Each structure stands twice: as C-alpha cells, then as structure tokens.
Amino acid sequence: EAGVVQSPRYKIIEKKQPVAFWCNPISGHNTLYWYLQNLGQGPELLIRYENEEAVDDSQLPKDRFSAERLKGVDSTLKIQPAELGDSAVYLCASSLGTGRGNEQFFGPGTRLTVL
C-alpha cells in the first residue's frame, strides 16, 4: 500500500514569490492534515480536512496561506507571498477518520527555504 505522497521534497524560492505544495493521502483516508514543522520543533497543525471540508483551519495564517481539497482526495497548500519566516518543513498526514484508533500516517514533508 502506498503511503502519503508529497511533492516537491525540496523547494527554494525568493521572498515574495508564491509556492505550492501537493499531498496525496493514503487511498480511502477521509481526513487530511497539513502541519508546519520549524527546525527543532514538533509539528503544528495548520489545517484539517474531513473529505473536502476544512473543519479546523484556526491556525492557518489566512492572509498568505490557502489550502484546498476539491474532490476530497489530494490537497494543495499555497503560500502567496512567501516570507523569510515561512522557511520550514511542511508535513501532510492522513487518517481514516478522527474516531478512536484512527492513526495518522505522515508523508516525508516538503522542506521550504525562502531566501
């Protein structure tokens, strides 16, 4: 069974440029998460989707960040414009749901460097 797929693995851009990250969850997983992980820190949730609905985006900086999961499968996270402080690893995870016992599976992440 394929795991959570993310692309690109690495991205280097100049500040004020836009950037997008893509995530394909494990087949059949209804719940999709985007996390931000700063160097030396644990992941912090940006947004959680239940199918195509964003049910928790309280930590997403909506002035520059946006996300979509149009058909309830793969998802895109966008930053426009990027700032120096956005340099981090962006992790995607998925799970069957949020009920008891539903484990999150993580992708390898996208390392963003903003120059």
Partner 1 sequence: AQTVTQSQPEMSVQEAETVTLSCTYDTSESDYYLFWYKQPPSRQMILVIRQEAYKQQNATENRFSVNFQKAAKSFSLKISDSQLGDAAMYFCAYRSLGPTSGTYKYIFGTGTRLKVLA
Tell me the window of 12-20, 65-73, 74-82, 104-112 that interacts with partner 1 (CB under 8 A): 104-112
Q: Is the dihedral of CA 78, 104, 50, 57 positive or negative?
A: negative
Q: Does 44 bind partner 1 (CB under 8 A)?
A: yes
Residue 39 and residue 87: Cα distance in Å, rounded?
9
Nearest in space to 32 (alpha carbons), one of 4, 7, 8: 4
What is the closest distance, in whole angstroms, from the C-beta atom of residue 70 to partner 1 in the complex? Answer: 20
Q: Does 33 bind partner 1 (CB under 8 A)?
A: yes
- Is the CB of 79 or the CB of 93 nearer to partner 1? 93
What is the closest distance, in whole angstroms, from the C-beta atom of residue 109 to partner 1 in the complex? Answer: 5
| CA angle (113 as vertex; 54, 91 as ends), nearest 5 | 35
Residue 81 and residue 71: Cα distance in Å, rounded?
26
- Identify residues 2-21 at the interface with partner 1 (CB under 8 A): 3
The answer to whether 45 and 59 have CB atoms below 8 angstroms apart is yes
Q: Binding residues for partner 1, per CB under 8 A?
A: 3, 33, 40-45, 48, 50, 55-56, 89, 91, 93, 98, 100, 103-104, 106-109, 111
